[in-house]
Structures are given as structure tokens and as C-alpha cells.
Amino acid sequence: MQLSTKHLLGIRDLQPSDIQLILDTTSQFKEVLQRPIKKVPTLRDVTIVNLFYESSTRTRISFELAEKRLSADTINFTTSGSSVSKGETLLDTVNNILSMKVDMVVLRHSASGAPHFLAKHVPAAIVNAGDGINEHPTQALLDAFSIREHLGEIKGKKVAIIGDIMHSRVALSNIYLLKKMGAEVTVAGPPTLIPKYMKEAFDVRVEYNLKKALEWCDVANVLRIQLERQNQVLFSSLREYSLAYGVTKKILDSLDKRIMIMHPGPINRGVELDSDVADSKQSVILQQVENGVAVRMAILYLLSGGKAE
Ligand code: CP
């Protein structure tokens, strides 16, 4: 089986069969990662550059580890210390790197659409590692894999995505994926952080009351308040946000069921999520991070096409 696309630019472009293939391939690589020797020769002749124009901990390390587990050669590029500070463009940077016989590009960029631009102008396969406020497809895939792993399937599950929906590429990729795979989705948060078009454009429920959203869902995916992307005041203070929308042990204990708690990281502890929830057995946050390596191995393997052994 093959993916219907040469690049991974967003979940929006994927068919449900692509998502199924990535999740099934992830299961195989997760099994590899449980072995004493976690390395396979699959991408031995493939060279991959990780281009990170924006900060990252989980995604950057996870891609690098996935590449190493697959025996690919890897190059890590961050803007600091590079010729970007001398004004070199993204396209010139990538073309120079590709001229050194690099096969694939993993790109994180603060500009929405940067990976799509590259995909039009360079011959290499492009993997979107998060572009502005557009998409973060590998995060949505690892979230979906974690839901499937814990709840058996995605179809029919009720997922509440809570918090800063407006600035979240994680929210958008999750919505595309969950709807394609037959889940029900509610977006919850303050009205100022949920775009007015959500309900009509994405066929999701909108809920402004946190307790009601939690009572409805099987899974709560709690998002970070992205202060760095907000250029206007969208809520009165972090303290007030936390009082109205912070997920606490008290509110979870008041539900008549136990829901699964997810967060893409990094967490603003005590703002959108309390520490005693983030670190509880109800939370799968570190399991999401663990699954990220296997998901990225699956994507790199599937996109490498004929180059894989
Ligand atoms: N979830 C996520 O993208 O985290 P990083 O920004 O640390 O990669």
C-alpha cells in the first residue's frame, strides 16, 4: 500500500485510507521500538534535513530520533547560526541543502503555507512539522494513534478540543483527522478564542462552558494558550482564563466518568491544565510523545517510496 500523496503537508490533503495506512504502519514501528535493538536499516540510503525555523522540543527530537531509528542520515538546521541572519531566503536555503544530495525535508516554520510553497518549488518530499497557525499533521496523527491505542478505535468517539482554537495548528489538524475518521468533535473555550465560522466550516459542535464539554466527551485534548501568536487582548488575564477554562482535578472528579486527558505540549501548568491532572494516570501526555517517534517513522518510511529497502 502507498500514500496518495508525495508530501505530508496537512491532514486536509489526506484520504481516510492514507490515515489508516499511517496508523497501521505506526503500530508496526511501535513494535520495533519495544525491541532491545530499536534500529532498522529501512532508510539506510536516505538523507533527511530537519529545518526548524521556529522553536521545538518534542517534534524536532522526535523526527531526529525517528530518522536515526530508521538508519537515515540526518542534518539538523536551526536559524540561529545560519545564513538566514544574512538574509538568505527559505528557497535558497533549501536548494543549497538539496544540492548536497539530500532526499527529504522536514520543515517547521512560523509562516502558514511555507511547506506548501516549498513543495511547489523543490523536487524533494516535504514533511510539515508545523506551519504557523495552519496545520501540525504529525501531531494530529500521533494524537489519533494514542486515542486508538487507548480506546480501541477513533470512529464514534467524542473528542473535545479545549482552549485557544483560533491560534492552534494542532486544533485544525485534529479536526480534519477526527472528522475524516468518523469521530465527533466539540471545540470548547472562550468565544474570543473560537472563530465564528468553526461550526459551519468544520461541522463541529461549539461549547463555551468547560464543564459541559467535559461531561460530553470521551477525550479532552487541552491546548496551550499561545500568547506569542496573540496580537490583541482576547481574554482579561491568565488567571481569569484559568478559572473559567483550566482543567483541574476538582472539575474532573465532579464528572460521573473518567475521560482521557491529552495535551500536545508544551504545557502552561496552572493555566490550561493543572499539574495534578497533567501528571495523573488519566493523562496520556507522555505516551503521546512516545508515540510521536513511531508515527514519524511511519511517515518517513511511507514517503520515502522506492528509496526504502
Ligand atoms: N507539540 C509540539 O509541537 O511541541 P514542540 O513545539 O515542542 O515540537
Task: List domains and CATH numbers for the chain.
Answer: 11-132+291-303 (3.40.50.1370), 137-288 (3.40.50.1370)
Q: Is the pLDDT of residue 306 over 50?
A: no
CA separation for the pair 124, 62 (Å, rounded):
21
Beta bridge partners of 262: 221
- In which band, very low, low, confident or very high, does the pLDDT at 305 lie, cut at 50, 70 and 90? confident
SS (H, E, C) the chain: CCCCCCCECCHHHCCHHHHHHHHHHHHHHHHHHCCCCCCCCCCCCCEEEEEECCCCCHHHHHHHHHHHHCCCEEEEEECCCCHHHHCCCHHHHHHHHHCCCCCEEEEEECCCCHHHHHHHHCCCEEEEEEECCCECHHHHHHHHHHHHHHHCCCCCCEEEEECCCCCCHHHHHHHHHHHHCCCEEEEECCHHHCCCCHHHHHCCEEECCHHHHHHHCCEEEECCCCHHHCCCCCCCCHHHHHHHHCECHHHHHCCCCCCEEECCCCCCECCCECHHHHCCCCECHHHHHHHHHHHHHHHHHHHCHHHCC
**CB 242 near ligand 1, within 6 Å:** no
Mutation probe of ligand 1 site: the residue of 59, 138, 224 with most atoms within 8 A of C-beta: 59
Mean pLDDT of the chain: 95
Q: What is the pLDDT of residue 1?
A: 82
CA of 225 to the centre of ligand 1 (A): 13
CA separation for the pair 227, 38 (Å, rounded):
38
Please name the residue whose Cα sits nearest to atom 1 of ligand 1: 264
CA of 309 to the centre of ligand 1 (A): 30
**CB 264 near ligand 1, within 6 Å:** yes
CA of 127 to the centre of ligand 1 (A): 15
**CB 56 near ligand 1, within 6 Å:** yes
**119-123, 230-234, 296-300: the lowest-pLDDT one:** 230-234
What are the strands of the beta sheet with 158-162, ordered from one edge?
205-207, 184-188, 158-162, 219-222, 260-262
Q: Is the pLDDT of residue 17 over 80?
A: yes
Q: What is the pLDDT of residue 235?
A: 76
Q: Is the pLDDT of residue 180 over 70?
A: yes
Closest by CA to 113, choosing from 84, 133, 86, is: 133
What number does the ligand 1 atom closest to the CA of 62 have? 8
**CB 59 near ligand 1, within 6 Å:** yes
CA of 131 to the centre of ligand 1 (A): 12
- Cβ pair 244, 202 in contact under 8 A: no
Q: What is the pLDDT of residue 226?
A: 78
**59-73, 165-179, 185-199, 231-245: the lowest-pLDDT one:** 231-245
What number does the ligand 1 atom closest to the CA of 136 have? 3
pTM of structure: 0.96
Residues whose CB falls within 8 Å of the CB of residue 245, separated by 6 or more in sequence, listed in order: 162, 163, 188, 189, 190, 210, 272
Q: What is the pLDDT of residue 234?
A: 72
CA of 222 to the centre of ligand 1 (A): 14
Q: Is the pLDDT of residue 171 over 90?
A: yes
Q: Is the pLDDT of residue 309 over 50?
A: no
Average pLDDT of span 162-180: 97
Q: What is the pLDDT of residue 89?
A: 98
Residues 98-126: tens digit of each pLDDT? 999 999 999 999 999 999 999 999 999 99
Q: Which residue has the higher pLDDT, 236 or 303?
A: 303
Average pLDDT of span 267-276: 96
Q: What is the pLDDT of residue 167?
A: 92
Q: Is the pLDDT of residue 281 over 60?
A: yes
CA separation for the pair 247, 185 (Å, rounded):
18
Q: What is the pLDDT of residue 237?
A: 86
**CB 265 near ligand 1, within 6 Å:** yes
Average pLDDT of span 215-225: 97
